[in-house]
Amino acid sequence: MGKITFFEEKNFQGRCYETSSDCTDLLSFFSRCNSVRVESGCWVLYEKPSCKGYQYILSPGDYADPQQWMAFNDSLRSCRCIKNVYGNTWRLRLYERTDFGGQMVECTEDCPSVQEAFKFREVFSCVVLQGAWVFYELPGYRGHQYFIERGDYRKYTDWAAPNPVLGSFSRITEF
pLDDT digits (tens, 9 = 90+) for 50-74: 999 999 999 999 999 999 999 988 9
User: Rounded to a whole number, what is the distance in angstroms from the first to the last CA of the chain?
Assistant: 9
Give me the CATH topology for the region 3-81: Gamma-B Crystallin; domain 1 (2.60.20)
Element (DSSP H or E) covering residue 125: strand 125-130
Q: Which long-range contacts (CB under 8 A, 24 or more apart) does 9-13 make?
A: 9/34, 9/35, 10/34, 10/35, 10/64, 10/65, 11/35, 11/64, 11/65, 12/37, 12/62, 12/64
**How does pLDDT run across 135-171, given as a tens digit for each residue?**
999 999 999 999 999 999 999 999 999 999 999 999 9
Domain segments of the chain as ranges? 3-81, 91-171
Whether 3-81 shares its CATH topology with 91-171 is answered yes
**How does pLDDT run across 3-61, given as a tens digit for each residue?**
999 999 999 999 999 999 999 999 999 999 999 999 999 999 999 999 999 999 999 99
Report yes or no: 79 and 48 within 8 Å, Cβ to Cβ.
no
Q: What is the pLDDT of residue 120?
A: 87
How much is the mean pLDDT over the chain? 94
pLDDT average, residue stretch 105-124 = 96
DSSP 60: S
Number of Cβ within 10 Å of residue 82's Cβ equals 19
β 101-107/13-19 pair status = unpaired
Judge whether residue 95 has pLDDT over 80.
yes
Cα torsion 129, 131, 134, 135 to 10°: value is: -10
pTM over 0.85: yes
Specify burial of residue 109 (Cβ count, 10 A radius: 0-12, 13-18, 19+). exposed
Judge whether residue 84 has pLDDT over 80.
no
Judge whether residue 117 has pLDDT over 90.
yes
Q: Please state, in angstroms and rounded to a whole number, the distance separating the CA atoms of residues 143 and 152.
A: 23
Q: Could you name the CATH architecture of 91-171?
A: Sandwich (2.60)
Q: Considering only CA atoms, which of 169, 74, 78, 163 is closest in space to residue 124?
A: 163
Q: What is the pLDDT of residue 83?
A: 79
Q: What is the pLDDT of residue 49?
A: 96
